[in-house]
Chain A
Amino acid sequence: MPLPSIVAILSLLAILASGAWVALGLMGVGIFSLEVFRTIPVEKLLAQSIWNGISSPELLALPLFILMAELLFRSRFIDGMFSALEPWVRRLPGALLHTNILACAFFALVSGSSAATTSSVGRITISELDARGYDRRLTLGTLAGAGTLGFLIPPSIVMIVYGVMSQTSVLKLFTAGLVPGFLLTACFMTFIAVLSKLRPGIVPQGTSDNSRIWHERLQGMPSLLPFVVLIGSILGSMYGGLASPTEAAAVAVIVTIVLMALERSLSLAVLKAAAVGTARTVSMLGLIIAAASFLASAIGFLGMPQAVAAFINGMNLPPLGLIVLLMLVYIVLGSFLEGMSIIVMTIPIVMPLVVHAGYDKIWFGVFLILMVELAQISPPVGMNLFVLQGLTGRPLSSVVRAAFPFFLIMLCFVFFLAVFPQVVSFLPQLL
């Protein structure tokens, strides 16, 4: 590999390890590499790349879905979900553990964040399941695994970033996430069902009265109403051809505010906290996207994508071999880096390789999202693990052990998608 590429990679590792903020670190690597190896006006390129990186109209969906996630977190929509879902899963093997998975899938349909999904669902279900004597490890494991659906099932904050950076339709990406999202939900539920058949002790054996189960099921329906309205306003407006993802996000924000006002969970203090919380996340992500835009230009000037492509091509890997290699690289990166940094740093280099191997950009987007989801639950740095640690006060090692079976399920699922890429591609092709 040429010297500039090696120096850029080493300086990236050094600057990240030094604890510099990721956004500034990425810019720093680009500035340093270009100042040393190229004679171009770096300041002009930097400013223009920052400007171009954050001036995409598609990116507008990002702050709006973040605002929505902030508002949802402060609403009480989720409070009634446990009792609404309980009669539906009571008779399944694994019983109420399925409420964790289904509630996460439901919440993921309105929220684009994995950590917010895990946290919102967890703060309701952990205490309910504990009170009923469910195995704490499985409670945490199902939450850690299913919480990651927040990124895969649309809307998804990470998908918007990927879509803008890779110049791929965000709507098609959202559509591509639906089938894998629901299949993964089914995988988690099947695992719980099989496990509870093999080890009946994991589910408390109580005698539940099922004589009025349909009455209970119908009685719980109104609690799901805010979700039905929100899902309808997001997916309905996007797929009904009325609105783009950005417009759907704006409508969903307004609908959320109205629904919160109706359930009396909206106040000026809530709105203010949501506004500042949104500003913090938008600023953090926006700076990373701006930095990634500059870094992508910088490594282009350094000829790095071509150098890495030549290096990988020299290995003569079959397409599936390349994907397995990438899975290993992403698992290593995911253990010490946060998901968004992994995405923005690797897209310019890895995407051409994957597209060259015969996979399309939409498929790679879903692959990348799943690898980021794995990063969310892989130690020592995994955001969902931290959220669960915060919710339960348990040591990180115990949360990691609880999440591990779900980590393996997701890993097998990614491999399945690599073998059958049409599972991802067929739905967006219908658009």
Chain B
Amino acid sequence: MFFLNLVDRLSRALAFLSGAVIIGIALLVASEIFLRNIVGVSLSFVWEVSVYLHMCAIFLGAAWTLRTGGHIRVTLLRAVMPRLFEWFATLIGLVISAYVTNALTLLAWGYHATGRTSGSTTDVPLVYPAAFIAFGSLLLTVQIALRLVHLAMGRPVELDSAREEGVNAPIMD
């Protein structure tokens, strides 16, 4: 139970970090426009850093999005055999997610081993965003694995995001 709660809390904290990062991107880009047009100073790093922050934000929020039912799926067949459907979908998801995590970890390791950078004036070492992405993917895989535990224990597999964060804005769901 302790581990389940720990993973949930970590997932939620990272989702919050992911949202904060996106607000940060808005501030960075807006500051760049202001400085460029008013003061005549261009912050050349803003675009590149923003792209990497966005990439990290996508993966850092992935686990909490799964836990709160935010990743879309086709559930037309769920009504037929709900329990079997969940087991099957979760097992397939786990296999694919583990494969993806392995691939992204190898990519991050490759960037670390070769010391590859973005090659621009900012010269960001690519291992940093790649490591965050791989970690986000790993946490997503752990959340999917724990979904099996929730299923086995007969507990609800998804948390109500409206209860967790207040009213939900339907943007794409």
Contact = CB atoms under 8 A, between A and B. Distances in A.
Interface string B135-173: 000000000000000000000000001001111111111
A99 B171 CA distance: 22
Contact of B54 (A54, A70, A251): A54
**Nearest 9 pairs of A and B residues by beta carbon:** A275-B19, A286-B58, A19-B89, A279-B61, A283-B61, A250-B29, A73-B169, A47-B107, A279-B18
A46 B103 contact: yes
Given A116-B171, A279-B22, A48 B107 contact: yes
Contacts of B93: 20-21, 24
A279 B169 contact: no
27 contacts: A19-B85, A20-B73, A21-B89, A24-B100, A31-B96, A43-B99, A47-B106, A54-B58, A59-B51, A64-B26, A69-B171, A115-B172, A116-B169, A116-B170, A249-B26, A250-B33, A275-B16, A276-B64, A280-B15, A281-B70, A281-B171, A281-B172, A282-B61, A283-B15, A283-B58, A340-B72, A383-B170
B155 to A, nearest CB: 18
Interface of A: 15-25, 27-28, 31, 42-44, 46-48, 50-51, 54-57, 59-60, 63-64, 66-67, 69-70, 73-74, 113, 115-116, 118-119, 157, 242-243, 246-247, 249-251, 253-254, 269, 271-288, 290, 336-338, 340-341, 380-381, 383, 387
B104 A285 contact: no
Interface residues of B, number: 71
Most chain B Cβ neighbours within 10 Å, of A19, A242, A286: A19
Contacts of B70: 280-281, 283-284
A67 B26 contact: yes
B165 A27 contact: no
Contacts of A16: 74
A286 B25 CA distance: 16
Most chain B Cβ neighbours within 10 Å, of A47, A70, A242, A253: A47
B85 A115 contact: no
B73 A67 contact: no
Contacts of A70: 169, 171
Contacts of A21: 66, 71-73, 89, 93
Interface of B: 12, 15-16, 18-20, 22-23, 25-30, 32-33, 37, 47, 50-52, 54-55, 57-62, 64-66, 68, 70-78, 85-86, 88-89, 92-93, 95-97, 99-100, 102-104, 106-107, 130, 133, 161, 164-173
A173 B29 CA distance: 22
B73 A279 contact: no
A54 to B, nearest CB: 5
A383 B169 CA distance: 13
Nearest to B73: A21
A410 to B, nearest CB: 19
A284 B100 CA distance: 16
A27 B100 contact: yes
Contact of A251 (B30, B66, B104, B161): B30
Given A116-B170, A254-B30, A67 B22 contact: yes
Most chain B Cβ neighbours within 10 Å, of A16, A253, A275: A275
A22 B103 contact: no
Contacts of B51: 55-57, 59-60
B75 A64 contact: no
Given A44-B103, A116-B169, A250-B33, A290 B74 contact: no
B74 A277 contact: no
A225 to B, nearest CB: 21
A113 B168 CA distance: 14
Contacts of B59: 283, 286-287
Contacts of A247: 29, 32-33
A292 B89 CA distance: 19
A277 B85 contact: no
Contacts of A115: 170-173
Contact of A269 (B29, B77, B166): B166
A98 B66 CA distance: 39
